[in-house]
Amino acid sequence: MQRIIFHMDGDAFFVGCEVAKNPGLRGLPVVTGEERGIVSALSYEAKTLGIKRGMPIFRVKKDFPCVLVLPGDYASYTRFSQMMFDIVRRYADDVEEYSIDECFADLTGLDRTLKMSYLEIAERIKREVTVELGLSVSVGLAPTKVLAKVASNWVKPNGLTVIDPEKTAGFLLKTPIEKVWGIGPRTAEYLKKKNIQTAGDFAEKDVSWVRNNLSQPYESMWLELNSVCVSQVDSEPKTVYSSIQKTRTFHPPTRDTTFLLSEFSKNIEDACRKARHYKLVSKKISFFLKSRDFKYFTLKIVLDSPTNAPEVLVHEVRLRLGEMYKPGVIYRTTGVTLSDLVPDTVQQGDLFGSGIKAGKFESIHRQLDLLEEKFNKRVVYLGSTHKALNKKKLGTDSEDLDRDLLFL
């Protein structure tokens, strides 16, 4: 059966949220990303001035003093995001929250249920988001997810574009190949060498050509461009992860191992907290240090039994820091990845390995996680994380911090 897929995309979403919170900003050149040092999102007025995503904030401040630079406020963006998706759910059950500012919905059959045309449903969602939340969005309606993305991108900002099956060819021949979802700069370059300039050129190729020249995911993409629905709208909230990563960049860069270890400790705690939340454990953990000149130094460890207890990992990285730390190198980022995650149902304790150590911490974490979820606030940190917290909370008296937090 022919499906009708809806895609909605926030226009300059982070800035859009800032404007929604403070309507006085409307019409002004605004960027967010001050805390990151590069532009995350920019208003269309800022774009007109020649500012681009990823531009260093210091350059914006220097070359465009009229531009308002704001720090990101992710908690509020997440709230707007949820309110936006809730509006879509007034109409459709099947809503996939694809990213903080994008969702898909399967509208198939809702024209009869709701006694409205598909276009009318899309218009109403868009209008309610605009009126109730003060956010501008662009919307696409098409037979597949890939085509719905092409559609929502067609007119931006504030667009609503329908791609009927009969009209796809016209749209695709005017869509540059690099604008197709899943085609990045490398693949675009490769395809252009093969004389494929537009999504239409690609869609017109034989399936055998696609199989012989590209890897598997591109065949799905090719099918979707040809109106064959391959990827379903998946409304299940994500609960399975194959990996969990936490990284933090700090400034100034440093070679102070005590500080680096506390940054690792913080990342490990955050990653393990998330793993515990989803009841996952890992026995393959990799750590990295990123140097000032963006070189990576990694350390991989394999435990005897999987864990999500930060104490074990903090211990390991402290013991083996020397395997990735090079004296004389200055570092800007640390990170940790828990991979090969498995459900922590029955912890078959490894009596002689690290399993027994992890076991000791299990009930402590269970209690602390409950406490923290109840107060929706981090309450307890490892002592090894102390330094990283002080560093982060600039302007906060560290004694105040100690009064609120308990260190193990």
- Report the interface residues with DNA, using CB under 7 A: 36-38, 40, 54, 56, 58, 61, 98-102, 149, 180-188, 215-217, 240-249, 270, 274, 284, 293-294, 300, 302, 332-333, 335
Within a 13 Å sphere around the CA of 186, how many CA atoms are in the beta-carbon half?
A: 1
Which amino acid is present at 170?
Answer: G
Query: From the CB of 126, what's the least distance to DNA, in Å?
Result: 18
Q: Which is nearer to DNA, 56 or 322 (CB)?
A: 56
| Ordered strands of the 41-42 beta sheet | 41-42, 30-32, 68-70
Reading the block at residue 214, the tokens are: 């590209």
Query: From the CB of 307, what's the least distance to DNA, in Å?
Result: 17
Q: Decide if 150 contacts 142 (C-beta within 8 A).
A: yes
102 is catalytic: yes
Catalytic option among 45, 96, 97, 102: 102
Query: From the CB of 243, what's the least distance to DNA, in Å?
Result: 4
- What's the CA gap between 355 and 366, in Å, rounded? 16
Q: Decide if 84 contacts 130 (C-beta within 8 A).
A: no
Give the residues across from 31 on adjacent strands.
Answer: 42, 69
Query: From the CB of 33, what's the least distance to DNA, in Å?
Result: 8
Q: Which is nearer to DNA, 245 or 257 (CB)?
A: 245
Q: Which is nearer to DNA, 128 or 340 (CB)?
A: 340
* Residues ≥6 apart with Cβ < 8 Å to 95: 85, 88, 89, 103, 104, 105, 233, 235
CA 132 to chain centre: 25
- What's the CA gap between 41 and 372, in Å, rounded? 32
Q: Which is nearer to DNA, 64 or 241 (CB)?
A: 241
Asked if the peptide bond before residue 157 counts as cis, ω within 30 degrees of 0, the response is yes
Query: From the CB of 238, what's the least distance to DNA, in Å?
Result: 8
At residue 124, the 3 state secondary structure works out as: helix
Q: Which is nearer to DNA, 109 or 182 (CB)?
A: 182
Name the pairing type of β-strands 380-381 and 68-70: unpaired
DSSP state of 174: T
Query: From the CB of 38, what's the least distance to DNA, in Å?
Result: 5
Which amino acid is present at 351?
Answer: L
Q: Which is nearer to DNA, 77 or 361 (CB)?
A: 77
Within a 13 Å sphere around the CA of 248, how many CA atoms are in the beta-carbon half?
A: 21
Q: Which residues are catalytic?
A: 102
